[in-house]
Amino acid sequence: MDESKILIDAPAGSGVDTAFLESLGHPVSMCEGPHGTACPIVETGHCPVAEDAHGIVFMLDLDLAEHRQVLDAYRSRLRADLPIGVVVESRSQATRYADLLAGFRVWDHVPAAGDLDALAAEVESETD
């Protein structure tokens, strides 16, 4: 199996167990999201880090329009079978953004080992 890379879009200190993913053979790239400038995938339609990923964990705040734009760009510009897990801050946020979240794996908590293992298994099935 080729290395299957995982991109984690999350604010600093998010608590995702990157060591667990790396122990499963999935190198992790981190992105803290746009900071006052447009995200490249939104602005230009391309992001080499996202395009190189075999799976994404998205933990940016969906109540911010620029973060919703990033997630929407992932849906429209990356391959349709890319495993993406999205963390919502609450069940009400999941309801509010149900259309945007359709088709994504949705968590209402920081993904634990079991969640990450399931995403990793999905990534591995896509790269085999």
For 54-109, what is each residue's pLDDT tens digit? 899 999 999 999 999 999 999 999 998 899 999 999 999 999 999 999 999 999 99
Token look-up 């929407």 returns: 72
Q: Report the C-alpha gap between 3 and 14 in whole angstroms.
A: 24
Query: Would you state the pLDDT for residue 1?
Result: 46
**Domains (ranges, CATH) in the chain?**
6-127 (3.40.50.2300)
> What pLDDT digit, counting tens, does each position of 9-44 carry?
998 888 788 888 888 888 999 998 887 778 899 999
- pLDDT tens profile 4-15: 889 999 988 887
From CA 24, how far away is CA 74, in angstroms rounded? 24
How far is residue 76's CA from residue 18's CA, in Å, rounded to a whole number?
A: 26
